[in-house]
Amino acid sequence: MPVQRGPRFSPQQIGIAAISLVVVVVVVIVLVATTGGSNKPQEGPVGSRTAASPALVSETTSVPESVYQQVGLPKELTNSPSKVKGESALTKNGLPEMLYMGAEYCPYCASERWPMIMALSKFGTFSNLSNTFSSVSDFAPDTATWSFYKSTYTSKYLVFQPFELATNQPAASGACQVSGYACLETDYTAAESNLLQKLGGGSFPFIDFGNKLMQSGSGYTDQPLVLAGLTAQEIASDLHNAKSPVAQAEDGSANYFTAAICSMTGNQPSSVCSASYVKAAQKKAGV
C-alpha cells in the first residue's frame, strides 16, 4: 500500500527571513510574497496550543516496556525509517542530532509527534511541551497532538532539533505562509532545509536520525485517522492498551523510532537498545 505523505515544499515556501535559499525541488505550492508583505512569521495569533499538563506528559511517556514488546512492529507500518546513503553524520555539540521538520497544521505530523515523544523519552527528558490540533480543514481534521514549539529536550545520548514551520491558523494576507498557514519557526539553516528536500522530498513530517536513517511522512497512509475524534487524554490512555488501534499505530511507530535512535547512539543505553523489536527494526533497515 503506497504511503500517503504530507504536502511537498521548497525552501521558498518556508520563508526564511532575510535569507535567499537555492531551490532544490520544484514544487506546486509557492510562498506568497506580495508587495508590502513580510517574510517573517505573522504577528498576533500563532495557533491554539496550550501548555501540556505534567499528568498527560507522564502518561504518554510511561508506557510499560511489556506493552511495547507486545505491540512489536505491526505490519500496517509500511513506511518506517530507512537507511541514508552518501551523507556525512549529522551532529550537534558533539552528539548525534535527530532533526524534525514539520508544521502544526499537518495531520501526518500530528500522528508522528506521539511516537517521537514516546521514543525520545527513553533517552532523555522533555520540558515545555504543548498540546495543539492539526488543521480543521485538512485530512483527519482537528487531530489532537503535540507541538515542539519552544520545547526543550535534554539527553546525554543525542540532540533533538525540532522545527514547527507553520501554525494551524491561516496566514494573514501578504504574510509569510506555508500552504496557506502562518509561518512559525524560520530559523533553521540552509543545510537543514536542503536535507528536507534532498532526503525527505520536501514532505512533512521529515525526521532525520543523524543522517543514518530517515523517515518522510507517516507510518502508513491513513495513520492520522486512528486518532480521529479522540482527546489527547484518550489517546494517552489507549497507548497503554497493546490491542488498541492507537497503540498498534503509535506504540508501533515508537518502536521503529527507538530503533532508529539506537542506531545513532551506538545502541546506548543497552537497557533500551537491547529490546527485540529494536534489533528487528534495525535489521529491516539494514543498520
What's the pLDDT at 47?
61
For residue 5, pLDDT over 90 is answered with no
Span 135-150, average pLDDT? 96
Phi, psi of 144 (to 5 degrees): -70, 130
For residue 21, pLDDT over 70 is answered with no
Q: What is the pTM of this model?
A: 0.85
For residue 104, pLDDT over 50 is answered with yes
What's the pLDDT at 212?
98
What's the pLDDT at 3?
38
For residue 178, pLDDT over 70 is answered with yes
**Which residues, including other chains, have CB under 8 Å from residue 28's CB and lie 6 or more apart?**
8
Span 265-274, average pLDDT? 98
- Describe the crossing of helices 107-120 and 54-61 by its angle, rounded to 10 degrees: 80
CA 13 – CA 118 distance, rounded (Å): 30
The secondary structure element, H or E, covering residue 68 is helix 65-71
What's the pLDDT at 7?
47
Which cell is 275 given?
A: 529490546
What's the pLDDT at 94?
97
For residue 127, pLDDT over 90 is answered with yes
Question: Per-residue pLDDT tens for 236-260?
Answer: 999 999 999 999 999 999 999 999 9
- Burial call 198-236: b when 16+ CB within 10 Å, e when fewer: ebbbbbbbbbbbbbbbbbbbbbbbbbbebbeeeebeebb
Q: How many other β-carbons are positioned within 10 Å of the β-carbon of residue 18?
A: 7
Task: Dump strand ranges (E) for 14-108.
Answer: 50-51, 82-83, 91-92, 95-102
For residue 42, pLDDT over 90 is answered with no
HEC per residue, 108-142 = HHHHHHHHHHHHHCCCCEEECCEEEECCCCCCCCC
- Of the candidates 170, 220, 136, the residue with the CA atom closest to the CA atom of residue 32: 170
For residue 106, pLDDT over 70 is answered with yes
Instruction: Please measure the distance between the N-terminal and C-terminal CA atoms of the chain and give it in whole angstroms.
Output: 24
Span 149-161, average pLDDT? 98
CA distances from 162 to 22, 112, 226, 257 (A): 22, 13, 24, 15
What's the pLDDT at 48?
80
What's the pLDDT at 225?
97
Share of the chain above pLDDT 90, in %: 83
For residue 16, pLDDT over 70 is answered with no
